[in-house]
Amino acid sequence: MKTLVIVSHPGFEQSAVTRTIKQVAESLPDTEVRHLEERYGDDAARFDVTAEQAAHDAVERIVIVFPIHWFNLTPMLKAYMNRVWTYGWAFGPGGTALRGKRMQVVVSAGAAEATYSHQGLIRSTMDEVLTPLKASALYIGMRWEPPLAFYGVMNADAARLAGIGQAFAQRMADCLEPA
């Protein structure tokens, strides 16, 4: 299955988890990785919208990798979706570019999994935190896959990073059956 992996992290160099996932993604067959901050810095005005839209054309699955950033997307990822997933291309009259493609979200959170529960500090699950992204995917006709979340990742040691890389690779392999 041809896959596009979009990576965003405002502090990428400090994130062993996101770097690990990106490295694993780069090793997977039929996978293109586009790291937003690496390509465009923190300037959304620099997005090459035509190139970014073209990167979506030949794939069947779009994987978005990011850390939960104030219980939301990273700023560059939100700007990317606003500028690239446009009316008339992704949705609206004639906008079917993403229809039928699979959406896989892979997130990391510094907080423990218990924080993301109805009994936890934010009284919301990770699925609830990701509701706007899920709604966007479903609205434009994408197939929403269950998210893959890694919790309590601050200061992850080598063994934990290896486990995260393996879990990500396994999820990518598990999603190979036809829709």
Summarised one tens digit per residue, pLDDT across range 67-78 is 998 899 999 999
Summarised one tens digit per residue, pLDDT across range 1-32 is 899 999 999 987 888 999 999 999 999 999 99
Decide: residue 169, CB within 10 A, 0-12 exposed, 13-18 middle, 19+ buried.
Answer: middle
Summarised one tens digit per residue, pLDDT across range 97-123 is 999 999 999 999 999 999 999 999 999
CA–CA separation, 38 vs 42, rounded Å? Answer: 9
| 147, 105 Cβ separation under 8 angstroms | yes
Name the residue ranges covered by the structural domains of the chain.
3-174
CA–CA separation, 142 vs 39, rounded Å? Answer: 25
pLDDT of 27 reads 96
Average pLDDT over residues 50-62: 95
CA–CA separation, 126 vs 141, rounded Å? Answer: 22
Beta strands in the chain (DSSP E): 3-7, 31-35, 61-67, 102-108, 143-144, 148-150
- DSSP for 77-109 reads HHHHHHHHS-BTTTBSTT--TTTT-EEEEEEE-
pTM: 0.93
Average pLDDT over residues 142-155: 93
Domain 3-174 bears CATH identifier 3.40.50.360 = yes
Of 26 and 155, the one with more pLDDT: 26
